[in-house]
Copies of this chain bind each other. A is one copy, B any other.
Amino acid sequence: MSLIVQKYGGTSVGSPDRIRNVARRVAKFRAQGHDIVVVVSAMSGETNRLISLAKEIQAQPDPRELDVMVSTGEQVTVALLSMALMELGVRAKSYTGGQVRVLTDSAYTKARILSIDEGNIRRDLESGHVVVVAGFQGVDMEGNITTLGRGGSDTTGVALAAALKADECQIYTDVDGVYTTDPRIEPKARKLKSITFEEMLEMASLGSKVLQIRSVEFAGKYRVRLRVLSSFEEEGEGTLITFEEEGDMEQPIISGIAFNRDEAKITVRGVPDKPGIAYQILGPVADANIEVDMIIQNVGEEGQTDFSFTVHKNDFEKALAILKGIQPHLEAKDVIGDEGIAKVSVVGVGMRSHVGVASQMFRTLAEEGINIQMISTSEIKISVVIDEKYLELAVRVLHKAFGLDREV
């Protein structure tokens, strides 16, 4: 008998029939004697419907009020799933983020979880309830409703599993696990039985949209056993996220090819190459709560330097306007934006002990005539920014070059 946190995404609860399916699955686990906490997203389409409605009133909806609206999506789902469980004779009780209380900071539409009060949930579990919690949402210190941003329900699930010291956090989604790359781009992509946390972190942040990055960080930090499964298949083990690099001889060098089309590039050209310039450029961007991903600074001519970075496309206009605004102050020659880019990454803990991954990657892309605009590396991944139109081609040739299409 264990305590399991299960998270079901919007597609899994997209209709009354699907909600009943989820209820049946939860009831099956419950019948096996497990304690179950279920975290659910809004029904698929509902969040977008609410955002569209808000935009009919305000082109740029006020973030606080947008969170008040959007959080209703999950609130409806927790009630419906609780009802569906009761219909199966299972005691169930719903919680909003505020009722739990999932305490967050006040960064509306992209809040971060600060703490979770698990007392009420534990009490309900002890009295035999399945507890159904609204994902994606919380409240700040003043009781304002916040949301965690897209995909935040995963984070809620993992954070709850951590707070409750659950035995496993199962993320049910419309894919049946983590693949070597997106099968829609490379049909030969294979499902991985397990992947390390570090790799998953890189895969998630780089665009393999199986899990939200913050949920993986949380899981790693609190050592939550995390498993990705399909909500549409009755059987299947999914992909387990492991903590340590397996000592396996067969450990592949590269686990997968990740990619991301959601970023845009901003280049500040010809700024004086002096200490503090990076902070002068990125400080105002960070102050506007815009996350920056890749950052590259090239040595330029005559004491000048070129500075490039990438941001999410949603923040692109805002970031560009900020930099155009401070361009005179920076004494920069020019500020240039480019939305037509994509990022492709090879990820694998195996590359730590293998040289030559980078050169093989660059050679493979060069052979296809794909120009590399930016490069960034970490211990277990190499990312390049390329022209967006070459994205699919790059993913496919890299998948083959690193032997990911072969069974291991």
Contacts and interface: CB of A to CB of B under 8 A. Distances in A.
Contact of A65 (B65, B71, B94, B99): B94
Given A69-B79, A72-B76, A57 B16 contact: yes
Nearest to A50: B76
Contacts of A87: 57-58
A19 B65 CA distance: 15
A75 B69 contact: yes
Contact of A80 (B69, B76, B79, B83): B69
A62 interface: yes
Interface in A54-85: 54, 56-58, 61-62, 64-66, 68-69, 71-72, 75-76, 78-80, 82-84
A358 to B, nearest CB: 49
A366 B171 CA distance: 71
A80 B53 contact: yes
A96 interface: yes
Contacts of A93: 64
Interface in A166-182: none
**What are the 7 A-B residue pairs with the smallest beta carbon separation, nearest first?**
A72-B72, A65-B79, A68-B79, A69-B79, A58-B83, A16-B56, A57-B83
B96 A57 contact: no
Copies of this chain, whole number: 2
Contacts of A66: 79
Contacts of A68: 75, 78-79, 82, 94, 96
A20 interface: yes
Most chain B beta-carbon neighbours within 10 Å: one of A19, A20, A62: A62
A320 interface: no
Contacts of A56: 16
Contacts of A64: 93-94
Contacts of A69: 75-76, 79-80
A378 B96 CA distance: 46
27 contacts: A16-B56, A16-B57, A19-B57, A50-B76, A53-B76, A53-B80, A54-B80, A54-B83, A57-B83, A57-B87, A58-B84, A58-B86, A61-B83, A62-B82, A62-B83, A62-B86, A65-B80, A65-B82, A65-B83, A68-B79, A68-B96, A69-B79, A71-B75, A72-B75, A72-B76, A99-B143, A99-B144
Contacts of A86: 58, 62, 65
A98 to B, nearest CB: 7
A16 to B, nearest CB: 4
Interface residues of A, number: 36
Interface of A: 16, 19-20, 50, 53-54, 56-58, 61-62, 64-66, 68-69, 71-72, 75-76, 78-80, 82-84, 86-87, 93-94, 96, 98-99, 143-145
A98 B99 CA distance: 10
A96 B145 CA distance: 10
Most chain B beta-carbon neighbours within 10 Å: one of A57, A79, A96: A79
A75 B79 CA distance: 15
Nearest to A17: B56
A20 B76 contact: no
A57 B75 contact: no
Contacts of A16: 53, 56-57
A75 B69 CA distance: 6
Given A72-B72, A86-B62, A143-B99, A79 B94 contact: no
B57 A84 contact: yes
B80 A57 contact: yes
Given A50-B76, A99-B145, 17 more contacts: A16-B57, A53-B76, A54-B80, A54-B83, A57-B84, A58-B83, A61-B83, A64-B94, A65-B82, A65-B83, A65-B94, A68-B78, A68-B79, A69-B76, A75-B75, A99-B143, A99-B144
